[in-house]
Amino acid sequence: MTTRANLSLPSAGRQAGPGLTSGSARERLALGPSSQLGCWWVLAPFLLTACDGPQSALSTGGADAAQLDRLFTVMLVGAVVLWLGINGLFLYATRRGGRPVSRGWAEALIIGGGIGLPVVVLTALLSYGLSIMPDQRAVGEGLRLRVTGEEFWWRVEYWPDGADAPIVAANEIRLPVGQRTEIELASTGVIHSLWLPALGGKTDMIPGRINRMSLHPTQEGLWRGQCAEFCGLSHALMALQAVAMEEGDFRDWLAREAAPAGGAGGAGAAIFAAQGCGACHAVRGTGARGAVGPDLTHLGARGSVAAGILPMTPEAIADWIRDPAAFKPGVRMPAYAHLPEDELTALADWLWSLK
Amino acid sequence: MTDQPPSPEHEFAEEQASLWRITLGPLIWALHFIACYAAAAVICAKLDASPPAIEAMRWSIGAGTLAALAGIGWAGRRSWTQWRDGNDDVFDDDDGSNEDRTQFLGHAALLLSIISFLGVIYTALPAFFETSCL
Ligand SMILES: [Cu+2]
């Protein structure tokens, strides 16, 4: 309530504008700054929400992100100290001191503060930044991933050590904890960028070339990533989940992921085949081998539907199939609104059961 | 500085040389920059980025950097002399005499040498820290 009352004050101040000298206007203007402060305090908690959660560079779960977090803290503390120092000096010179200083002092201040100090600070910061670059670019060990940016989803391929064919998945990345995994980044068509703030920095995915990054999760957890390079209508709806797992759990999961779909029969499977979904989607273990859209072999084991946009429930899957463009403008999957509800339900139930 | 007023031609030649000298520091910086970036680009993108080649490049950049710093240091020293020698009020080179003009150019060249010196160091720092093309 008080905020709302305060919010109306600036306009009161503006109305009083022409008569600035009148006592009442001055009083009202004097209220201005404190009322603005009031608004900012209300906003502060919203800003703080960025400090936590599955997609925050300030709440880290990986070695690379922790290093960047430290870099940020160092820069922030340094910036605050410099800001206070400069403004303190400024205040001192304009409000307090005001005495002229000798030429020698003035020159020392200009050369020391204008050249010496910035050189020392910049050299230290540059050296610090350069010294952590080899870590940020370190080579992975063992497992290799290939993530390809598509419109508007992620093709994910796992290449275990010595494998000659990949294990194909989509829209979710799983990584072993305590190990550095090499990630190759590719793209078809337009530029995307893979960014998992809690695990590391972002890297662009550029058509026609393979970029690389490597991630080293240090604790188990669920993290969220986001495409960080505008790639079309549903760019903002191109997210993904990253799961960091203990090494043993990861190996078990990867073995399951490599296996063909279980329970490949039933009404849902028949509708899937009859509707021709297999022209775009692969479900290993059935005849569906399409590679235009995401691999659906273990769809139900993922944390979300359609690249981080919908919850993993049979209802959400049915909603998606009925009208994908309702959730993602520009999507490259046709709508199946003509399917009767019971067929949609059977189809969705079957897809959801593919764990 | 001189007892006799110099001939206009001589004076012009002198100032022209001084104008050229002012670019010496930034010129060395630019050449050093191009050489470092070209070497890294060729070895990392066109050749095979082999560890021995990278090692050789890093040492070459180190040597080239020392040479560039020496050159800029020399240019800086010269401009210091040009600015300071026989200059009784170094911060008041603005009354338009030939002497003041020369001294001002010396001052400007000195400042450019300083920034070039720093630029060369910052250009070379990555070669000091990075040991691979990744
Ligand atoms: Cu994208």
Domain locations along chain A = 144-254, 267-353
The DSSP letter of residue A116 is I
A139 interaction partners in chain B (CB closer than 8 Å): 134
Q: Which of residues 108-147 of A touch B (CB under 8 A)?
A: 115, 119, 122-123, 126-127, 130-131, 133-134, 137-139
B134 interaction partners in chain A (CB closer than 8 Å): 137-139, 212
Tell whether B2 is covered by a domain: no
Tell whether B7 is covered by a domain: no
Domain holding B109, by residue range, is 22-87+96-129
- Phi, psi values for residue A227, rounded to 5°: -65, 130
Tell whether B13 is covered by a domain: no
Kindly report the CATH number that applies to the domain delimited by A144-254. Answer: 2.60.40.420
The minimum CA-CA distance between B134 and chain A, rounded to whole Å, is 6
Tell whether B5 is covered by a domain: no
Q: Where are the beta strands (DSSP E) in A160-309?
A: 167-170, 172-176, 181-187, 192-195, 203-205, 211-215, 221-227, 239-245, 304-305
> pLDDT below 70 — which residues of chain B?
1-14, 89-94
- Phi, psi values for residue A113, rounded to 5°: -85, -25
Tell whether B109 is covered by a domain: yes
Specify the pLDDT at position A41: 65
Tell whether B29 is covered by a domain: yes
CB-based contact A123 B121, cutoff 8 Å: yes
B94 alpha carbon – ligand 1 mean position (Å):
59
pLDDT classification of A309: cutoffs 50, 70, 90: very high
Q: What is the mean pLDDT of residues A82-96?
A: 88
3-state secondary structure of A95: helix
Tell whether B50 is covered by a domain: yes
Q: How many CA atoms lie within 13 A of A258 on its CB side?
A: 13
Could you say which of A115, A131, A138 has the minimum Cβ distance to residue B129?
A131
Specify the pLDDT at position A28: 39
Tell whether B16 is covered by a domain: no
How many domains does chain B fold into?
1
Q: What is the mean pLDDT of residues A34-60?
A: 69
CB-based contact A133 B129, cutoff 8 Å: yes
Specify the pLDDT at position A341: 94
Asked if A144-254 and A267-353 have one fold, the answer is: yes
Which CATH number applies to A267-353: 3.90.550.10, 3.40.366.10, 2.60.40.420, 3.90.1170.40? 2.60.40.420
